[in-house]
Copies of this chain bind each other. A is one copy, B any other.
Amino acid sequence: MELQELLQGFDDFNSNNLFKTDFLLTWEKSKQDLELVVRVAETLKMLRQKNISPKLFDSGLAVSIFRDNSTRTRYSYASAANLLGLTVEDLDENKSQISHGETVRETANMISFMTDFIGIRDDMYPGLGHSYMKEVASALDEGIDQGVLEKRPNIINLQCDLDHPTQSVADLIHLKNYFGGLDQLKGKKICMSWAYSPSYGKPMSVPQGIIALMGRFGMDVTLAHPPGYELLPEIMTIAKQKAEEAGGSLKLTQNMEEGIDGMDVVYAKSWAPLQIMKERTQLVRNHQFDALDALEKKCLAQNAQFMDWEFDQNKLSHTKKGAALYMHCLPADISGVNCKHGEVSESVFEKYRLKTYKEAAWKPYVIAAMMLCSEFVNPGGVLQALYSSQKPRILT
């Protein structure tokens, strides 16, 4: 789509309910608001391609709190902040005094005096990540209400125990491009499948995010996983209900072959068994760090029973026309490449490798779009103003 066309399309959006809100879970947002994020992300990308700078802040901070390792999301957040004119200030909990008994609400205010956004990744422990974000949000509410803060920074969920919205919206744009429009997703079949991995403790937020989002655009979603790898029941309920409201569906199977049969899209990715993740949360809460090693062994042994859940050439051949779109949030465990047995065979991964890169390329723009939509009530107008100003990103 051309930039002019993209900009005109904002006329279809008569409201922005993302304004002055946190972006924590896609299912708390309306479909129209998600479409708004998609369009803003696409427009930002095209502005930058045309060397038009989308800088909106002359100064300001985007704080990041990463409670788990991250390359891509860290980089994506930094890119988004930089694009809009913000500087990332990383709250490294090892360097800081947070471990010295500070309360969350205090810290939340202390890092917000000149902050426009707080990006948080806290995905390791079911029952903790989203709660932590809500706790921070509530502290910020108090801070603004009580005159501690001049402005309330909005929170961007960079992955929690429930959802990974910057990933799933990037995936949505990838699907949009693949099928030629969001309206083309209706009736398309996607299988979110568990896949074997020799690693331990991968969060459930990506599969949960995918099944909760894609059905809302009318896709027929199949969730496939071995017994013991159930997703959180409350999210299953939400996903099913929202899919059906939108003319999509959610089906469940414990057989990978069955799951991918005839699919348009296969998202094959490992995650940890919920029961083990819950034990893990308990152990961490009780500071029983030694027991985590034993738990890891248990998890790896459980995974090992399902080593045949690998997305390989044979399985691919049973998808629609033997040519379903393979998706992954990266990094993938690729058999014979970075592990002995993994989520995907080398030949299948190689076939789709560059496509997964392009899928990932949307994440910085999705984060920037979430920031823009929560900061400005009229994103279309703001983007039009940027386009009109024609300020070059690189001096020409």
Which A residues lie at the B interface, using CB under 8 A?
A: 45, 48-49, 53-61, 63, 66, 69-72, 74-76, 78-79, 82-83, 85, 87, 89, 91, 95-98, 100-103, 106-107, 109-111, 113-116, 142-143, 146-150, 199, 330-331, 333, 337-339, 353-354, 357-358, 360-361, 364, 375, 382, 385, 391-395
Shortest distance between the CB of A303 and any CB in chain B (Å): 16
Q: Are A357 and B148 in contact (CB under 8 A)?
A: yes
Q: Are A354 and B148 in contact (CB under 8 A)?
A: yes
Shortest distance between the CB of A120 and any CB in chain B (Å): 15
Q: Are A56 and B87 in contact (CB under 8 A)?
A: no
Shortest distance between the CB of A82 and any CB in chain B (Å): 5
Q: Are B96 and A71 in contact (CB under 8 A)?
A: yes
A63, A113, A354: residue with the most chain B Cβ atoms closer than 10 Å: A113
Q: Given A56-B395, A66-B95, list of 8 further CB < 8 A pairs?
A: A54-B59, A59-B85, A79-B113, A79-B114, A110-B357, A113-B361, A142-B354, A147-B354
CA of A338 to CA of B74, assembled, Å: 30
CA of A159 to CA of B337, assembled, Å: 29
CA of A57 to CA of B338, assembled, Å: 37
Q: Are B75 and A59 in contact (CB under 8 A)?
A: no
Shortest distance between the CB of A126 and any CB in chain B (Å): 21
Contacts of A392 in B (CB 8 A): 58
Contacts of A57 in B (CB 8 A): 393-395
Q: Are A74 and B87 in contact (CB under 8 A)?
A: no
Shortest distance between the CB of A258 and any CB in chain B (Å): 30
Contacts of A97 in B (CB 8 A): 69-72, 331
Cβ contact of A330, chosen from B70, B91, B106, B354, cutoff 8 A? B106
Shortest distance between the CB of A90 and any CB in chain B (Å): 9
Once A60-B393, A361-B148 are accepted as A-B contacts, the answer to whether A48 and B114 lie under 8 Å apart by CB is yes
Total copies of the chain? 3
CA of A385 to CA of B115, assembled, Å: 25
Q: Are A71 and B111 in contact (CB under 8 A)?
A: yes
CA of A385 to CA of B82, assembled, Å: 25
Q: Are A87 and B98 in contact (CB under 8 A)?
A: no
Cβ contact of A199, chosen from B100, B146, B382, cutoff 8 A? B100
Q: Are B109 and A357 in contact (CB under 8 A)?
A: yes
CA of A109 to CA of B360, assembled, Å: 9
Cβ contact of A55, chosen from B59, B74, B78, B391, cutoff 8 A? B59
Once A146-B354, A148-B354, A333-B101 are accepted as A-B contacts, the answer to whether A110 and B360 lie under 8 Å apart by CB is yes
Closest to A148 in B: B357
Chosen A-B contacts, 23 in total, with CB atoms closer than 8 Å, are A55-B59, A56-B395, A57-B393, A58-B391, A59-B82, A59-B393, A61-B79, A61-B82, A63-B75, A69-B100, A71-B91, A74-B95, A78-B87, A79-B113, A87-B87, A100-B331, A101-B331, A101-B333, A106-B331, A106-B353, A110-B360, A113-B364, A114-B364
Cβ contact of A110, chosen from B66, B75, B109, B199, cutoff 8 A? B75
CA of A21 to CA of B60, assembled, Å: 27
CA of A96 to CA of B73, assembled, Å: 10
Q: Are A60 and B148 in contact (CB under 8 A)?
A: no
